[in-house]
Chain A
Amino acid sequence: MQPAPPVRETTTLDRIARLTGLTASPALRRWFDPETGRLTRLPFWLRALALAVAAAVALPLYNDNYVTAVAIGTATYAMLGLGLNIVVGYAGLLDLGYAAFFAIGAYTAALLMVNFHLNFFLTLPVAVGLTGLAGAILGYPTLRLRSDYLAIVTLGFGEMTRVAITNCDYCGGPNGIINIPFPSLFGLDLQNLEPTMRQDAFWIISVVLTLIALIFAYHIAHSRIGRGWVAMREDEFAAEAVGVPTLRLKLLAYVMGGMWAGLAGAFFATRIYAIDPTSFTFQISVLVLILIVIGGLGSLAGVLVGAAVVSVGPEVLRAVADQRILVYGIALIAMMLFRPQGIWPATRRKPKPFYGVDEEEAEELSRRMLREHQEQEAREDKKHESAGHKVAKVGEPILQVEGLAQQFGGVRAVDDVSFDVLRGEIFSIIGPNGAGKTTVFNCITGVQKPKSGKVGFNGRSLRGLPAHQAAARGLGRTFQGIRLFKQMAVFENVMVGLYSKHRTMTWQALLHTPGERAEEHRSLQEVRRWLRFVGLEEESGKLATELSYADQRRVEIARALASHPRLVLLDEPAAGMNPTEKVELVAVIRKIRDLGITVVLIDHDMALVMRVSDRIAVLDQGRLIALGQPAEIQENPQVIEAYLGREEEDDALMEAEGR
């Protein structure tokens, strides 16, 4: 194996070392290394809390009213940015109407405080809940929209909300709501404090709220949900096919994004004392978008940096106050052109992703994997049977394709194709280009709806099942053109493949409960095994795009296997591999079968297919022309014809050419 190229600027520590000119000494590394350092191994909430306490204490001591006011603004922007970062940064959905959620949160809290005399802290859960609901209302009808249409719909939603508030008499119309009371806590009413003290109290409240927003955002981002979002952003189609319920996750992103904005809105209302519709214009939506872009999309530290930039910016740019937006616009374009990753980019590389995960002996490992796979299968079979479905035993049909037909315009891509794949075999589908092989795959996995025909998997029909549910039932797949999640590390790619096996609920992910932690730890172990299985453990921490073509294919295989599927569909796994790599691939395919996983293979390489397959189906022009063992297929005159052309045709061609 070639030595890995040096990875530059892997960690925040390296970046700081480079910026400050200090070398990261071993002692520094022992404490601060992001993966192994003693301090950085502490739970995130503890580190964030320490930072928050420092910030909360520092400013009142510094005692400059103006600085504190700007800092409170930064905290408000940070809360908004953390929410929008979920929607745009992680889930990749461009939301241009984010100010609407800010408005809904602010108005909810303000109305409850003014009309119902509720304490600020009691209005918080209501405001957060209502904005979450608003997120669902916006999200639901827009789930299936193309991403650029989404931008315009969200923009329209933002405008609609603002207009509705302006025209709503209960909300005070264009004049808004005034005399919003200050918060009070444990009998301490901010109303009774002198202005400087009140300012400090507001600062502390804003730090606490930002801290909560930050910790929850961190937890959700580092859970299976955050991984699902990023996978969806990188390649929605592939994410769905490996088991990520993309529609549900999109909706969740909107709901979460809304909740964070609701928190910020409620705080804004009590802090600013009077709100009106002009505080929630398109400009606010844009400003929050700018801040997360400047900070670095998908980076939490970036959000904090970006929030500071947009709140301190106007103070610094006072001389050109009127041209502030012009400067922001130029900054936005310049960032996209010259530093699209932002000031503090999110890094998904991890030099030591498995730090703290037990090493397993190679010998023992393969036996253990086999045992665990069999145990899992036995468990699933039992459940399956008790639910009244027929379980395919070894040697019985696990995948039944019956009369499958698919049509594109006037072309019958697949025409009445039927075959059974037996549990435990290696089954290959071959045929010339355009024979309909990949279309058959897509119809089986639910990516395309077949025009007619049935697909039965393990005794149940797959008809009408979305791709992620087919994956959850034990149907893994790889893609003809490599479709990895490019900006994710190799081990994360494989971990996304485990999505359907995870049982963590959203609230567990938010709170990072012991149950969730244990599941993540188990998953890491599982991922390490699979990467070792395909021989890529050394590369686990790199980004998927940094691997060679053949290695990327192997990551795809590991991702497809991660959830211990019953059957794995490999779409041209040998394409672009050299002879040595092909030999290794054959070994891997055999190892998959030895685990008890049925393999369905499409490939052009006849030698490889003949060597590895138990049975072969041959497609030509959408029709199944032969089915049998490799030796039979090699002898079959129809197959020879399909591949080499008919003799009469050749004769006719020769004649036509005048030979």
Chain B
Amino acid sequence: MGTFIQLTINGLTIGSFYALVALGYTIVYGIIRLINFAQGDLTVVGMFIGWSLLVQFGFKALPLPIAIFVAFFIPMIGTAITNVVVLQLAYKPLLKRSLLAILITALGASLVLSNLIRFVFGPAIEAYPDLVPLTGFSIGPAHVSYLQVTLFGASIVLMFALYLFVQRTAVGTAMRALAVDHDAARLMGINVDQIIRLAFVLGGLLAGASGVMLGIYYSQIHFSNGFLLGLRAFTAAVLGGIGNIPGAMAGGMIIGLLEAYTAGYLSSKWQDVVVFGVLIGVLVVRPMGLFGERVAERM
């Protein structure tokens, strides 16, 4: 029982990171039906900008609140800008072309980003400083660190902020309109290009935040982290029903829990096999994902 609680706590923590990255996929997908393969690598961009600020630029010596503010704020801006640059350079000219062309481009963008990180920051494994002390408290036999609580709380806050933004604001409504029909939205006077850019900005912000959180939580970072991270987060988005915000959150949590339980009860070696096995199983039974609605395929 103790193990179970511990694994659940660990699973929910990593699940909340996956959920954040998955939201980035889902927002972009919902609007332009593109699997932004680069989302995982974008997260690693955020991870490295944060690390660079804290370690290379020495911000970790500043008082904790300022250090944390800087270590989140600047990477988030950086990834948002990166994402928009990728959009303008690579995706924009292809939006009217075939699905295959744009998917291949996204794959190219993913390769370019991860190797740019390698080019700029080098191929070594780097370590995040311990910003938050590793102490915690106990729930029965299980240990919960303050770090876990903080990061979990922060991601929940971000998710709800995003949810409210999309559901309650005028711009959010425009985004939802665009997700249904670009032409109709354009006729209603919505600036389609601007909303697409906004989706990429939001995706970038989420990637930056989750990147820094992941860096702090796992401590060790490497330029190639984006591949598996992106894969799992995308799996989460698809599992929950891509294009669906609560679905992405739920999907992220499910993937996190699956991973934790597999590691605890089976072996961490089999994590990916279990995760993808579940994905394929779910898609065979419900091709639109757990919470998704049937979306018409882009013609």
B35–A152 CB distance below 8 A: yes
* A171 CB to nearest chain B CB (Å): 14
Listed residue (B111, B115, B231) with the most chain A CB atoms within 10 angstroms of its CB:
B111
* B236 CB to nearest chain A CB (Å): 11
Listed residue (A96, A152, A166, A235) with the most chain B CB atoms within 10 angstroms of its CB:
A152
**B213-239 CB contact bits vs A (8 Å, 1 = yes)?**
000000000000001000100110010
Q: Which residues of B contact A167 (CB under 8 A)?
A: 267, 269-270
A151–B35 CB distance below 8 A: yes
- For the complex, give the distance between the alpha carbons of A613 and B250 in Å: 57
B276–A326 CB distance below 8 A: no
**Given A159-B276, A323-B115, A326-B115, A147 and B287 contact (CB-CB distance below 8 Å):** no
Q: Which residues of B contact A326 (CB under 8 A)?
A: 111-112, 115-116, 118-119
**B98-128 CB contact bits vs A (8 Å, 1 = yes)?**
0111111101111110111011000100000
Q: Which residues of B contact A328 (CB under 8 A)?
A: 111
A332–B115 CB distance below 8 A: no
- For the complex, give the distance between the alpha carbons of A624 and B29 in Å: 42
Chain B interface size, as a band, is 35 or more
- For the complex, give the distance between the alpha carbons of A325 and B33 in Å: 26
Q: Which of A61-69, A333-341, A353-361, A515-523 contacts B (4 or more CB under 8 A)?
A: A333-341
- For the complex, give the distance between the alpha carbons of A153 and B295 in Å: 18
B116–A145 CB distance below 8 A: no
Q: Which residues of B contact A333 (CB under 8 A)?
A: 89-90, 105, 108-109, 112
8 Å CB contacts to B: which residues of A312-358? 322-323, 325-326, 328-333, 336-337, 340
B273–A332 CB distance below 8 A: no
B94–A94 CB distance below 8 A: no
Does A141 touch B at the CB level, under 8 Å? yes
B231–A155 CB distance below 8 A: yes
Q: Which residues of A contact B280 (CB under 8 A)?
A: 141-142, 153, 156-157
Q: Nearest chain-A residue to B108 (Cβ)?
A: A332
Which of B35, B108, B242, B269 is the one whose CB lies under 8 Å from A330? B108
Does A212 touch B at the CB level, under 8 Å? no
- For the complex, give the distance between the alpha carbons of A151 and B102 in Å: 12
A163–B270 CB distance below 8 A: yes
Does A405 touch B at the CB level, under 8 Å? no
**Given A144-B287, A337-B90, A322 and B270 contact (CB-CB distance below 8 Å):** no
Which of B94, B112, B235, B299 is the one whose CB lies under 8 Å from A329? B112
8 Å CB contacts to B: which residues of A141-195? 141-142, 144-149, 151-153, 155-157, 159-160, 163-164, 166-167
Does A45 touch B at the CB level, under 8 Å? no
* B223 CB to nearest chain A CB (Å): 11
* B22 CB to nearest chain A CB (Å): 12
A329–B109 CB distance below 8 A: yes
Does B1 touch A at the CB level, under 8 Å? no
Does A32 touch B at the CB level, under 8 Å? no
A147–B273 CB distance below 8 A: no
Does A286 touch B at the CB level, under 8 Å? yes
Does A92 touch B at the CB level, under 8 Å? yes
Prevailing SS type, chain B contact patch: helix
B103–A151 CB distance below 8 A: yes
- For the complex, give the distance between the alpha carbons of A605 and B269 in Å: 67
Does B284 touch A at the CB level, under 8 Å? yes
**B154-196 CB contact bits vs A (8 Å, 1 = yes)?**
0000000000000000000000000000000000000000000
Does B96 touch A at the CB level, under 8 Å? no
- For the complex, give the distance between the alpha carbons of A103 and B279 in Å: 22
A148–B33 CB distance below 8 A: yes
- For the complex, give the distance between the alpha carbons of A173 and B234 in Å: 28
* A194 CB to nearest chain B CB (Å): 38
B111–A88 CB distance below 8 A: no
- For the complex, give the distance between the alpha carbons of A201 and B100 in Å: 39
Q: Nearest chain-B residue to A336 (Cβ)?
A: B105
B234–A152 CB distance below 8 A: yes
Q: Nearest chain-A residue to B227 (Cβ)?
A: A282
Q: Which residues of A contact B297 (CB under 8 A)?
A: 146-147
Which of B90, B104, B112, B273 is the one whose CB lies under 8 Å from A164? B273
Q: Nearest chain-A residue to B116 (Cβ)?
A: A326
8 Å CB contacts to A: which residues of B60-106? 89-90, 93-94, 97, 99-105
Does A289 touch B at the CB level, under 8 Å? yes
Q: Which residues of B contact A147 (CB under 8 A)?
A: 99-100, 297
**Given A149-B283, A163-B270, A164-B273, A325 and B107 contact (CB-CB distance below 8 Å):** no
Q: Nearest chain-B residue to A324 (Cβ)?
A: B115
Listed residue (B107, B109, B267) with the most chain A CB atoms within 10 angstroms of its CB:
B107
8 Å CB contacts to B: which residues of A284-317? 286, 289, 293, 297
- For the complex, give the distance between the alpha carbons of A332 and B113 in Å: 13
7 A-B pairs in the complex with CB atoms less than 8 angstroms apart:
A145-B287, A289-B107, A326-B112, A333-B108, A333-B112, A336-B105, A336-B108
Add 6 more A-B contacts to A141-B284, A325-B115, A329-B115 (CB < 8 A): A88-B100, A148-B99, A151-B35, A167-B270, A286-B107, A329-B112
B-side residues, CB < 8 A to A, are 33, 35, 89-90, 93-94, 97, 99-105, 107-112, 114-116, 118-119, 123, 227, 231, 234-235, 238, 242, 267, 269-270, 272-273, 275-277, 279-280, 283-284, 287, 295, 297, 299
